[in-house]
Amino acid sequence: MLVDFELIKRAQAGDDAAFSEIVLAYRKRILGTIARLIARPEDVEDVAQEVFLRLYFSLEQLRTAEVFEPWLYRLTVNAGYDYLRKQKRRMESRMSDLSEQQVMMADAAAGGRVDLEDQQQARTRELVDSLLDSVSEADRILLTLKEVEGLSLKELEKVYQVNENALKVRLFRARQRVLKAFGANRKNPHPKDAAKAEI
Amino acid sequence: MSSLNSHPDESALDLLFRAYRDACPAPEPSPQFMPRLWQRIEARQRYSSFFGRVARRFVTAGVALSLGMALYLAVPTSYSSLFTSESYVEALAGGRAADALDLELLHSDPFPVD
Of A184-198, B3-17, B31-45, highest mean pLDDT:
B31-45
Instruction: Supply the pLDDT for residue B26.
Output: 85
Dist. CA B105–CA B107, nearest whole Å: 6
User: How many beta carbons lie within 10 A of that of residue B25, not counting itself?
Assistant: 12
pLDDT score of B2: 46
Q: Give the ipTM of the model, two decimals please.
A: 0.74
| DSSP 3-state of A3 | coil
Q: CA B20, A51, A169 angle in degrees (round to 5)? A: 55
> Of A121, A132, A176, A177, which to mutate for an interface test with B (greatest number of B Cβ within 10 Å)?
A121
Among B16, B28, B37, the residue with its CB nearest the CB of A128 is B16
Q: Which residues from chain B sit within 8 angstroms of residue A127, using beta carbons?
A: 16
Selecting from B9, B19, B29 the residue whose C-beta is nearest the C-beta of A27 gives: B29
Cβ count within 10 A of residue A77: 22
Query: CA angle, B103 as apex, B102 and B105 as ends, to 5°?
Result: 65
pTM of the model: 0.68
Q: What is the pLDDT along chain A (199 residues), one digit of tens a residue?
A: 889 889 999 999 999 999 999 999 999 999 999 999 998 888 999 999 999 999 999 998 888 888 899 999 999 999 999 999 888 776 644 445 555 555 555 555 555 555 777 888 888 888 998 899 888 999 999 999 999 999 999 999 988 988 899 999 999 999 999 998 888 887 776 654 444 444 3
Q: Say if residue A129 is exposed, middle or buried (CB neighbours under 10 Å; 0-12, 13-18, 19+).
A: middle
